Structures are given as C-alpha cells and as structure tokens.
Amino acid sequence: MSGVLGAAALVLLGYLLGAIPYGLIIGRLAGGVDLRRYGSGRTGATNALRTIGPKGAALVFVLDFAKGLVAVLLVRWLWGGDPILTEWIAAAAGFAAIVGHVWSIFIRFTGGRGVATSTGGLVGMAPWSLLVLAPVVVIVIWRSRYVSLGSVSGALLAPLVVAILFLAEMASGAAIAYALASGVLVTAAHADNIARLRAGTERKLGQKAKATDA
C-alpha cells in the first residue's frame, strides 16, 4: 500500500478501529448496562470501573489500548513507502484512533476520553516513554484519588518526555507530534473533569456511578 490514497485509507482505518465502542459492548454483555446512562456518560475504562466493576473495566482498558497500538502497527505493516513518511502516517493513524474513540461514528459521535487509546498509540510510537509516564500517572492517582488528574498529567507530560527521547535518538519527530496532538485532545476531552476538579466536586477513585440522563 502506498500513495496518497493508501495513506488516507490507513488513517481512516485508524479512525474506524478507534470508533469500536468496546466499553458499550462489554457493559451490555456484563448485564445490559449502557455506560452512556451512568456517571460521566463516557464509554471508557474509568466509567466502566464505577459501573460494571474492575474486571470489566480492565477488559475495556486493554481493548481500548489495543485500538491505538494496532492503528500504529498496521501502518508499519501495510505501508510500503519511505520509513520517515511511514512514521508520520502511523502518527496520523494513531491520532485518528483517538478521535474515533472520543467521537465514535457507531454511537452517534459519543465515546470515551481517549486515555487508553492514546496510550496504546504512544507505546507504538515511543515505547520507552511509558517507563517515565506510567509511574507518574500511578503516583498522581494514588496520592490524589483522582483518575482524571492522573490522566491529564500524563497527557500534558507526554510531549516533553517524547521530546527528550527524540534528543536521545530514541523517538522520532512524528512521535513528538503524536504526543503533542494526543495530549491536547485528551486534555480537551477532560474539560468537564477539570472544571469539577477546580470546584472540588470531581468523583474520586472507588466511587460508584449512578444512573443519569446522559
């Protein structure tokens, strides 16, 4: 696969992979639960944890993570062009997977906040970054009990970490662009969480989600 149409097809494939609403599917299999009607109304792992429990949430996270990683790896497998261009197309496909997760065409352009999917794509683009980011996110969540704060902290820190890896010749320029774009999108998707954090009304880790009209 090569050329402009080939690149566009791979980016579109990334979006469609990201748009698969695993949280909604697993919630329904776990007892007919529609995650969009509980808590934040999002279909990601955090709302799944509050709604269907840790096992279901872990499965949602793994599958959402895989969407970003697979979108990146498929480009490297299928694209037959220049290696540098390959990295940029992989970055675009990984970012498209996050867009698909946040605004899924299959569920009326609703979805999650993109944390797991963006993490999967980042592992595909700059795997060493996870060694720095994962402990930071875990510590922030552990100390604050706010998953959203840990997620936003990781999203904002990722571009800096990848840039340092780039200077050490352990990541590409495309990986920096991916980390920056995904960090902005994930942070924007947490706008309501950030507002609640500032107001002191954000739900802490372990709190159950109640049914809503979301």
Residue 12 domain-assigned (yes or no): yes
Residue 18 domain boundaries? 3-199
Provide the domain count of the chain: 1
Mean pLDDT computed over 8-33: 94
Neighbours of 156 (CB within 10 A): 13
Residues linked to residue 147 through DSSP beta bridges, in sequence order:
none
**Which ranges of 30-110 does DSSP label H, i.e. alpha helix?**
45-52, 54-78, 83-102
Q: How many Cβ atoms sit within 10 Å of the Cβ of residue 92?
A: 23
Count Cβ atoms within 10 A of the Cβ of residue 83 and give its class: 0-12 exposed, 13-18 middle, 19 or more buried. exposed
Question: Would residue 208 count as lying in a domain?
Answer: no
- Closest by alpha carbon to 46, among 143, 122, 135, 145? 145
Residues across the chain? 214
Give phi and psi for 38, each to the nearest 5: -130, 150
The pLDDT assigned to 213 comes to 42
* 166-180-146-110 Cα dihedral, nearest 10 degrees: -140
The residue that leads in pLDDT, 40 or 150, is: 150
* The model's pTM: 0.92
Tell me which of 181 and 203 has the higher pLDDT. 181
- Residues paired with residue 66 on neighbouring β-strands, in sequence order: none
Q: Is residue 212 part of a domain?
A: no
Give the C-alpha separation, 100 to 43, whole Å.
12
* Residue 167 belongs to a domain: yes
- In this prediction, residues 146-172 reach a mean pLDDT of 96
In a domain, 159, yes or no: yes
Torsion of CA 73, 76, 77, 81, to 10 degrees: 160
Per residue in 60-83, pLDDT (tens digit) is 999 999 999 999 999 999 987 788
